[in-house]
Chains A and B, each alone.
Chain A
Amino acid sequence: MPELYLRLLDRVLTPILLVLAAYLFLRGHNEPGGGFIAGLAAASAIQLQILSLGDEPVRRRYARFLHPMAGLGLFIALLSAILGILRGGYFSSLWGKVQLGEVELELGTPLLFDLGVFLIVFSVIVSFLLALSRQDEGKTP
């Protein structure tokens, strides 16, 4: 049953949670944070949508992306490990600097790996959440 207040909250909170996820993800570069925790935060945004809209609309919206997303995440994570061979060994990290106007960003394969982790965690958790929140659960057909 869709809930009015939850819907309002969802409007407000989903963007905040997604921004929080992005923040945690980038912060994981040097400080506590990272792909796993960011994936959980982003998945909690989806759980909020499941609670407010019911699981069926959410499933219709996201379900077909989940498996490809997990595949992409796994691919990126493996790629970041394989790319290390350019420096002589698997899993050794490559670093490069990117100039964005005033800001200088230090980007490397660990970030790529984190991105893979984020995608896998997000898609797997969301598919678990969708599996657990079936509306027809407990009803006899």
Chain B
Amino acid sequence: MHVDPNWLAAFIAAPGVAASLGLLFTGWGLRRSVAWQYRLALIGALINFAVSVPVLLVTQAGNRLVLQMGLYQAPFGITVIADALSGLMLFFTALVAVTTLIYARGTLDDRDRLNFYPLLLLLIMGVNGAFLTGDMFNLYVFFEVLLVGSFALLTLGGQIGQINGGIRYVLLNMLASTFFLAAAGVIYGTAGTLNMAQLAERLPQAPPSVQLLIAGLLMIAFSTKAGLFPLFFWLPASYHTAHPAVTALFGGLLTKLGVYTLFRIYPLLFPELLQEWQGFVFVVAALTMITGIFGAMAVNTMRRVLSFHIISQVGYMIMGLGLAATGNPAMATFGLAAGILYVVHQMLVKTAILMAGGAAELEAGSGSLLRERMMGLRQRAPALAVIFFIAAMSLAGLPPSSGFVSKLWLLQGAIDAGHWAIAAVSLIVSLFTLMSMLRIWQKAFWGYPKAEYQVPSPIATPSRQWLTLAPIAVLLAFSLWIGIFSGPALQWFDTAAAQALDRAGYIQAVSPTNTIEYLGGSYDAK
């Protein structure tokens, strides 16, 4: 199977064009504008999804698709590269994008929908670009693109809680981006290039102190984006304030993008440093898991509990990075593959459970777990209760879901390599996750509805029910598919991890030139 690398541009062009045309359709009367924005956005997201399938298949066959922008040779233009890791991420991002769009159509109120869909697609454009780019500064730019989209989505309702959350979110993400930018400056000053393939050649030769500086600055930037301990606090302060569809999208994509960059950058640019940092990575992973889960047990509204769960689950992914930080290639591949599987599992299940939790809040008119407002949702919305239950069990890691397989794989990797402490922590945190899920189940779904708290549900009409629940079911079906047919699915993650760790292959695929040709003459740079 052959795919022309030029198709990679569709990941940026399709959402971008759909968003821009959607913005053109404003000022036409609210309802009509929104209907057109939705249609255009759906078309854009479906094109994005349609392109992601062949890219996934082709990269899984062991190829890397490389596209040099503007026909400039590698270090001078911007390189766009899709390998198996990017391919997987792009596919599941496209899936999350389509399902979130449909879910948003079901749950958003008409007056709040204006420009929601174009902004969502801008966010997807940024996320896709960040997965694809092979250039440090371009990565920063795409981070900013998606951040601008997410700022606007977060504060779309204009409520004071959203604005308070939005200020924290903007501030801390902007600071993280500043650190990233500083790192980019130091990288350029050290290596004279920003192309990742060329950096993979040059950075390991840099003085250790400079390497440490760059790796540290990048660590601060990416771990803020990923929500790692101790830089996660912007996340639970803002996520639950947004509309349920926005929270689901953020929970499914944004922190995972941070984790993806950690998976991409550290094995590629700092292979030796990463091995030195193994203990540190494990400590961070364990603390992230523990603080996340304790936070989840301390708060009392549905989506805030789920927001803290995002953090605790990021800890598991970083545990995968820690397992990859070893000199033994087989073990490193195994650990990174487990981490990537966990990222994908979280993209599916976290989006699903935040969607289901948001639908439950809308259904009950409240997210309080302390009062009896949400009691008895299993009777008022049985289909939602079933879906939430499956998502919760997948999140807690019960078979036959992707949660079980991914946790099992991580544990196996940790025990094989003899990291007993982190294995124990991850098991205990799993148990607490189950407890926390049962708490939500007991407070929100179990019991009998109280008559005095009955409110008319904004998602009660059959069409809205379908639009709300079907996307969650699709995401959970993928999760169950990974869980049940784990053999072929696990092959994917193995390939992705092997490619992500194969530095020579990455450099060769991009093949940056070290010679500058200019007006017939040429000379060696550095």
Contact = CB atoms under 8 A, between A and B. Distances in A.
Given A68-B24, A71-B22, A89 B69 contact: yes
A58 interface: no
A71 B70 contact: no
Interface string B106-125: 00000000010010000000
A15 to B, nearest CB: 26
B364 interface: no
A67 B115 contact: yes
B21 A75 contact: yes
A26 interface: no
Interface string B10-38: 00010011011111111100000000000
A70 interface: yes
17 contacts: A65-B27, A67-B23, A67-B27, A68-B24, A71-B20, A71-B25, A74-B16, A78-B13, A82-B13, A84-B70, A88-B71, A89-B69, A90-B6, A90-B67, A90-B69, A91-B69, A92-B70
Contact of A89 (B19, B25, B71, B118): B71
A50 B159 CA distance: 26
A72 interface: yes
A19 interface: no
A64 interface: yes
A81 B129 CA distance: 15
A91 B13 CA distance: 12
Contacts of B71: 87-89, 92
Contacts of B495: none
A67 B25 CA distance: 9
Given A89-B71, A90-B69, A90-B70, A78 B6 contact: no
Contacts of B67: 89-90
A85 interface: yes
B315 to A, nearest CB: 38
A132 to B, nearest CB: 14
A81 B78 CA distance: 13
Contact of A72 (B13, B24, B70, B78): B24
A65 B69 CA distance: 33
Interface string A30-72: 0000000000000000000000000000000000110110111
B194 to A, nearest CB: 16
Contact of B20 (A78, A87, A88): A78
A24 to B, nearest CB: 24
B387 interface: no
A85 B67 CA distance: 12
Q: How large is the interface on B (under 10, 10 to 19, 20 to 34, 35 or more residues)?
A: 20 to 34
Contacts of A68: 23-27
Contacts of A89: 6, 67-71
Contact of A71 (B9, B69, B118): B118
Interface string A88-107: 11111100000000000000
A74 B23 contact: yes
Given A70-B23, A78-B17, A81-B9, 16 more contacts: A67-B115, A68-B27, A71-B21, A71-B23, A74-B16, A74-B19, A75-B24, A82-B9, A82-B13, A85-B6, A89-B6, A89-B68, A89-B70, A89-B71, A90-B67, A90-B69
Nearest to A65: B27
Contacts of B118: 71
A131 to B, nearest CB: 11
A68 B36 CA distance: 13
Contacts of A91: 69-70, 77-78
Nearest to A123: B23
B69 A74 contact: no
Nearest to A72: B24
4 closest A-B pairs by CB:
A71-B23, A74-B20, A75-B20, A91-B70
Contacts of B17: 75, 78
A87 B351 CA distance: 41
Contacts of B20: 71-75, 78
Interface in B26-76: 26-27, 67-71
A50 to B, nearest CB: 20
A42 B272 CA distance: 52
A75 to B, nearest CB: 4
A65 B115 CA distance: 14
A88 to B, nearest CB: 6
Nearest to A70: B23
Which of A67, A72, A87 has the largest count of B CB atoms less than 10 A from its CB?
A: A67
B235 to A, nearest CB: 26
Contacts of A64: 26-27
Interface in A86-140: 87-93
A88 B22 CA distance: 28
A85 B7 CA distance: 11
